[in-house]
A = this chain, B = another copy of it.
């Protein structure tokens, strides 16, 4: 049940894995995601994942469940087959782009609150802060339009 990976594939899994680690994934999560991106098969079972990556079942189980929770992977089942077939939800990245706007919004609420409590004396500093707030508000109107433009382009 262990999948044979070429040297190139192993290399890509590590490279992309490190890139994922840098943006917050744990090593095991990063490798599961990478495997599900690089591997010839798009759908892999639990055993294929833990055996091919050479990680323990517990590590695989925890990584897989957290990735399911984060909606970065999903699974399919097949009639008369108890196994789950896990798939990288790579397309999700597009929707994530929209979601990130909400985080921006939250930060901006805090920044405004901070500016409101600041003394009016530090003029330069306050105007920098105001500019950042304005910039975030600007993004909040612009980025949805960018996304809309993309949707339009793709639906053609």
A contact set with B: CB distance below 8 Å: 8-9, 12, 15-16, 19, 24, 37-38, 40-42, 87, 90-91, 93-94, 97, 106-107, 110, 113-114, 117-119, 121-122, 124-125, 128-129, 131-132, 134-135, 138-139, 142-143, 146, 149-150, 153-154
The DSSP consensus for interface residues of chain A is helix
A-B residue pairs in contact (CB < 8 Å), sample of 15: A9-B117, A12-B117, A15-B110, A37-B129, A38-B117, A38-B118, A40-B119, A42-B124, A90-B129, A91-B128, A93-B135, A94-B132, A134-B154, A142-B146, A143-B146
A110 touching B12 by the CB < 8 A rule?
yes
Which residues of B lie under 8 Å from residue A143 when comparing CB positions? 146
A9 to B113, CA, bound (A): 10
Contact of A132 among B12, B90, B135, B153 (CB under 8 A): B90
Contact of A38 among B12, B15, B114, B149 (CB under 8 A): B114
